[in-house]
Chains A and B, each alone.
Chain A
Amino acid sequence: MSVTAITSKARGLEELAGREPVSDGDQPAWVAGMRRAALEWVADHGFPTLKDEDWKYTPVKTLLEVPFELASTSAGRVLSSAMIDELAGDLGGTRLVFVNGHLAAHLSSLTELLDGARVTSFASAFLDDALLLEPVLAGTWPGYRHAFTALNAALAEDGVLIQIQPDTTVSAPIQLVFVSDAGATPVMSCPLVVVLAGARSRATIVETHVGFGGVYLTNAVTEIVLGDGAQIEHYKIQDEAETAFHFAALHVLPGRDSSFSTNGLALGAAIARHEVWVRLEAEGAEVSLNGLYLPTGKQHHDNPTFVEHIAPHCTSRQLYKGVLSGHGRGVFNGQIVVGHEAFDADAHQVNKNLLLSDTAEVDTRPRLEIFTDDVKCTHGAAVGQLDEDAVFYLRSRGVPHQEARGVLTYAFAQEMLELIKVEPLRSHVESKVTSRLGAGNAEARR
């Protein structure tokens, strides 16, 4: 990674990274140490540039010129639970709402949580759950991959720790809503989510990022560690304001014979990058990574995935679809590495893109590196346009041109929406996608 020198003239993220950490008397030594090390990492490595292989399509330069400050707790507007329902959907289970990165207790609801599961805000978890957190945050994931995750470690003030005890099933989804309400000055928040799923536990986690406009950066990290046989369904809805920046990394460490799925939707933000990292270190684990990105206007949606098959008998499935319109730009950069010991690895990766305008652009780079025999690995990528014969067929039946295109576009995206098993979330997402794609009434579709 090339180094951007952090000088005294630096401002924005570089200046934030160059500041002396605020000494907080309440902070345990390991937290302070982790934060200091993370800042040093940023100082040593700098922010990624287009010269970095994994960042060659996503410009960070404009972001570095924005004079971000850390977001404060107070939001400009008064929020209500009804507004959160509207923004993120009412899923009827446990809900934690963070405003500008800080827990908003009055909007959160923990009542639905069953015995055997704990949801704690970090402000207290740093103190009380050090034994659990320290290995995850300061050790499990081998080093920082880039300055954004390091910055999150250095600056995350709040977030959530979700612990699910072994053999526990949490049936209602656990909903995490991150609301950004930037005022006149650009702000950054660094939410951190840690999920520790005990052996044979089951739960559904839904992360939604929304915002009210203004310039802001959400720099999020989610760490999910699955015990043996655990089953976790994860959803990530990125519906930020279109003036926002969204950088997020999801790190997944599945246990033996565990199963993990994530379904991501990228709708908002000016520039968004949602990374998914999976280390298949334990035998027999299965992961399914899915994503739908819909950049329009001048939006940029980058979707890198990194799947490492390390242990034998693991399965990974990836299906990413993009619908790109206007001057929208999409990136799918999917890397699968099958290591020497990963016998019987079964890895599939598919990326399909639909370009709706001549000015939309997509870069798709499926990458597969295999270092052992006896594996089943496939990958494929496709970029296409709407089938004009199908458009005419619909028009010849009376469906107006734009609506016909919308119906066909929605049909392309629908496969991804069908993967959403949480019914209220699916209808929330369907209406978002329908209005984005101009596809008429989603209800009538079934």
Chain B
Amino acid sequence: MMLKIENLHASIGGKEILRGVNLEVRGGEVHAIMGPNGSGKSTLAQVLAGRDNYEVSGRVLYDGQDLLALSPEDRAATGVFLAFQYPVEIPGVGNLYFVRTALNAVRRHNGLEPIDAIDFLALARERMRLVEMDESFMTRSVNEGFSGGEKKRNEIFQMAVLEPKLAILDETDSGLDIDALRVVAQGVNALRSEGRAMLVITHYQRLLDYIVPDVVHVFAEGRIVRSGGKDLALELEQYGYTGLDQSRSLASAGVPDRATP
């Protein structure tokens, strides 16, 4: 099992956002997490990546390790990657320098020599092509002045360089026009592999036309309320989040019976 989440709770400022998430993801699988705004999907992504402004309880096993005990950088070094919903702008730090620093930090953590500047440039060029990114983005400051679509491409570019084992894509489709969506999805699909699991968080079904998931989970009020195959996404598209019979899924997702507020 690549990822095993057990009864994960998270709150911020006394407000509970995750209320007992249970999820299992195997290597090579792509899981989609769909849910309305404010249901806690992005909090799940942030908590898995190690954002420390949440009070967290429960258990998360990643590759057999206690993920919650690791710092964000150690999570990244062992192969966890979060594609941010809102990639951060960092004035004064060159994009390529940033990605190279990240790759070398991960390599150092894993006992590898830093990558040679020339080899890195070749790697970066190749991976930028994957998301049809112009080379001018190499020297610009990280995400500074990038359009929404350029920022998302930059996230997938970083993922392609860092080659994570578990990639969490947080609303990677938001703010993208259809062409950009196609390019980003193409990049993601090229990175699907046996040893890599993906958690694709999205509000809309349309991303899943391009990135076809193995499993779809419906997220509501801080937990998974229903799980199923890729057809579940179509059902959602048709009936909306409110039209789904939530009670049906609780037992099947293994969620302990709890009083719903």
Interface of A toward B, CB cutoff 8 Å:
387, 389-390, 392-401, 403-404, 407-408, 410-412, 414-415, 440, 444-446
Contacts and interface: CB of A to CB of B under 8 A. Distances in A.
A414 to B, nearest CB: 5
B51 A407 contact: no
B244 interface: no
Interface of B: 49-51, 71-73, 75-77, 81-82, 84, 87-94, 97-103, 105-106, 109, 117, 158, 162
Contacts of A399: 73, 101-102, 105
Which of B82, B89, B105 counts the most chain A CB atoms within 10 A?
B105
A400 B73 CA distance: 6
Nearest to A404: B73
26 contacts: A387-B88, A390-B89, A392-B50, A392-B51, A393-B87, A393-B90, A395-B72, A395-B76, A396-B49, A396-B75, A396-B76, A396-B84, A397-B76, A397-B102, A397-B105, A397-B162, A398-B103, A398-B109, A399-B102, A399-B105, A400-B73, A407-B98, A407-B101, A410-B92, A411-B91, A440-B101
Contacts of B94: 445-446
B93 A398 contact: no
Residue from B50, B51, B102 having most chain A Cβ neighbours under 10 A = B102
A396 B92 contact: no
Contacts of B71: 395, 401
B171 to A, nearest CB: 16
Per DSSP, chain A at the interface is helix
A444 B101 contact: yes
Given A407-B93, A408-B90, A444-B117, A396 B101 contact: no
B77 to A, nearest CB: 5
B162 A398 contact: yes
Contacts of B117: 444
B88 A398 contact: no
Contacts of B162: 397-398
Contact of B72 (A390, A396, A444, A445): A396
Contacts of A401: 71, 73
Given A397-B81, A397-B105, A407-B101, 5 more contacts: A395-B72, A397-B162, A411-B92, A415-B92, A446-B94
A445 B98 CA distance: 9
B105 A389 contact: no
A400 B105 contact: yes
Contacts of B81: 396-397
Nearest to B90: A390
A389 B73 contact: no
A283 B113 CA distance: 59
A410 B103 CA distance: 19
A53 B12 CA distance: 46
Given A398-B76, A399-B73, A412 B92 contact: yes
Question: Closest 5 interchain pairs by CB?
Answer: A411-B92, A397-B102, A398-B76, A395-B72, A398-B106
A390 B142 CA distance: 10
Nearest to B91: A411
B91 A393 contact: no
Given A390-B88, A408-B90, A396 B50 contact: yes
B102 A394 contact: yes
Contacts of A407: 93, 98, 101
Contact of B93 (A395, A411, A415): A411
B155 to A, nearest CB: 10
Given A392-B51, A393-B84, A444-B117, A398 B90 contact: no
A445 B92 CA distance: 10
A274 B154 CA distance: 43
A263 B105 CA distance: 34
B97 A398 contact: no
Contacts of B103: 398
Contacts of B88: 387, 389-390, 392-393
Nearest to A392: B51
Most buried by B among A393, A407, A440, A445: A393
Contacts of A389: 88
B168 to A, nearest CB: 10
A372 to B, nearest CB: 36
Given A387-B88, A398-B109, A392 B101 contact: no
A412 B93 CA distance: 9
Nearest to B52: A392
Nearest to B86: A389
